A and B are shown apart, each in its own frame.
Chain A
Amino acid sequence: KNQVEQSPQSLIILEGKNCTLQCNYTVSPFSNLRWYKQDTGRGPVSLTIMTFSENTKSNGRYTATLDADTKQSSLHITASQLSDSASYICVVSHSYGGATNKLIFGTGTLLAVQP
């Protein structure tokens, strides 16, 4: 069964600290993996997209890693800010022929950054 599991479910950190969020998936065949940030009551916003050949991709203070062999990804946030408080969703694209893809969503990690 194609699944995306994220850990931890929730996380509280102090402003300025770093944190790492985890994503494990069983999706096959794999096309790409995306990390989204979703503020409360808003739509998700894309942070990174990685194909199987990419190991690391950065977007400012956000760095995503991908190990396609172990089917694991992580999102590292450096020097956290209060505005980083949000849900972070890992999404794996399931390729089933041609240019058609289906997205499998994780349930998200809820991050709270405290002053």
Chain B
Amino acid sequence: DGGITQSPKYLFRKEGQNVTLSCEQNLNHDAMYWYRQDPGQGLRLIYYSQIVNDFQKGDIAEGYSVSREKKESFPLTVTSAQKNPTAFYLCASSPKGGGVFYGYTFGSGTRLTVV
């Protein structure tokens, strides 16, 4: 079945440590996105990519980095520069054009906790 796979489901980060969240899709979607979800807030866009080897900053990109070397993969690195990384991270994908008439498909999320 086609879909988006995020791993790991739970991740613990020590202070000053970089961690990478995996996102893989087999939907043949051109665009991929990373969102952050905090309690009581709507999803906020971190980074997005509309084509391989190209990506753009979203609303809260500081302290995060991404790469898009393959169409299927869009990993997110949470760097030590991100001062409040504890959150639920969601990866999504859509057909080219941001899904004007199509829904976004979301992964099942990664819960990151700073210890």
- Interface residues, chain A, CB within 8 Å of chain B? 4, 31-32, 34, 36, 41-46, 49, 51, 89, 93, 95, 98-108
Contacts and interface: CB of A to CB of B under 8 A. Distances in A.
Contact of B42 (A41, A42, A98, A105): A105
Given A89-B42, A104-B42, A105-B42, A32 B100 contact: yes
Given A31-B100, A99-B98, A45 B106 contact: yes
B25 to A, nearest CB: 12
A5 to B, nearest CB: 10
A108 B38 CA distance: 12
Nearest to B48: A102
Contact of B108 (A31, A43, A105): A43
Nearest to A107: B42
A34 B98 contact: no
Main secondary structure of the interface of A (DSSP, over half): strand
Give the interface residue-count category, chain B: 20 to 34
Contacts of B101: 32, 49, 51
A93 B106 contact: no
B90 A105 contact: no
Contacts of B42: 4, 89, 104-108
B75 to A, nearest CB: 17
Nearest to B33: A103
Nearest to B39: A107
A100 B40 CA distance: 27
Nearest to B97: A99
Contact of B111 (A41, A93, A106): A41
A93 to B, nearest CB: 7
Contacts of A100: 97-98
A102 to B, nearest CB: 8
Contacts of B105: 46
A41 B65 CA distance: 24
11 contacts: A32-B100, A36-B106, A42-B109, A43-B107, A45-B106, A93-B98, A95-B100, A99-B96, A99-B97, A103-B43, A104-B42
